[in-house]
Amino acid sequence: MDLLNRFVGIWIVCVIYIAVGVKGANFNETCTANGDCAEKNAAICDSGTKKCICSDNFFRKTAATECAAQVTLKATCSATETTPDQCSIANSECRDDSGTDKCLCETTHHETGGACVLNKDYGDQCTGSEVGNCKKATHIICDTTCKCSPTTFRKTTPAECATRIAYKAICVVAETAPDQCVADTECKDDGAGAKKCLCKTTHFDSSGVCTPRKKPSESCAVNQCVPHANCTSGTNICECWPDYTATPIISPTMCSGVYKVLALPCMYMVTVLVSMMLIVR
């Protein structure tokens, strides 16, 4: 009888052992091999920690004790999840997209072919078909290379794209960028000791707008003509100063004294050449 009791006891222990072995280890429980992990979608035994972890393409949910399928790019996700691997694509994150939380590329990356690729630096070559593939520094766009947008300029210090300085606003002479001021203006002394974005010499102020100066023979008002020209009283036409001539090869046409200065020597040269030709004949 005693022998029978021992035999029955051994079988009970074996049944219990087998039952426990079939159940296996749950998530975060100790294991030795993948076969030891029995929880749904948590069938991998981590080789480092020797604990059961979520299977590939699954993540451990925060609110529920379960491993759920990772969320694909542009699919709806849950912002309340604290786990960093909720989104399936590397370098993507769960964030707001027009009122809906979705798995999107991190702000330091852009989507290309379903992957999140690191954004490019200022001056790097880029492809215009890749929307937003330049680094998210202010006002950078892709136009063959990553560059500042038309309404901005590249600052010297710090190296960034900044909004162009408005007409008559204070500017920085130390800036080497020729386009720090808005179109048709340049950084120069305002006559009172301040540096401002003022109309270029080729333009004049017309109701707060820098307008191209009037060329010789064009109708004008006072101080509207190109340099070395005056708006003649009575006719209101731009005329070059005495000893100055309109130079149409310059755009816009200017008044220059060079041509008249050179005219006399050229006349002498023509006379000499004609005389030499007659002598040779």
Q: Return the amino acid letter for 103.
A: C
Model pLDDT for residues 78-109, shown as the tens digit of each residue: 988 888 899 999 999 999 999 999 999 998 88
User: Whole-structure pTM over 0.95, yes or no?
Assistant: no
Residue that has been written with the tokens 């036409």 in this structure:
237
218-232 pLDDT tens trace:
999 999 999 999 999
How long is the chain? 281
| Segment 13-41 mean pLDDT | 71
Give tens-digit pLDDT for 33-84.
Answer: 999 998 889 889 999 999 999 999 999 998 778 999 999 999 999 988 888 8
| Lowest pLDDT segment from 45-59, 144-158, 206-220, 223-237 | 144-158
d(CA 88, CA 76): 12
Give the helix, strand, coil percentages of the chain, each rounded to 5.
15, 30, 50
Residue 272 has pLDDT above 90, yes or no: no
Find, among 125, 116, 119, the residue nearest to 143 by Cα: 125
* pLDDT for res 127: 76
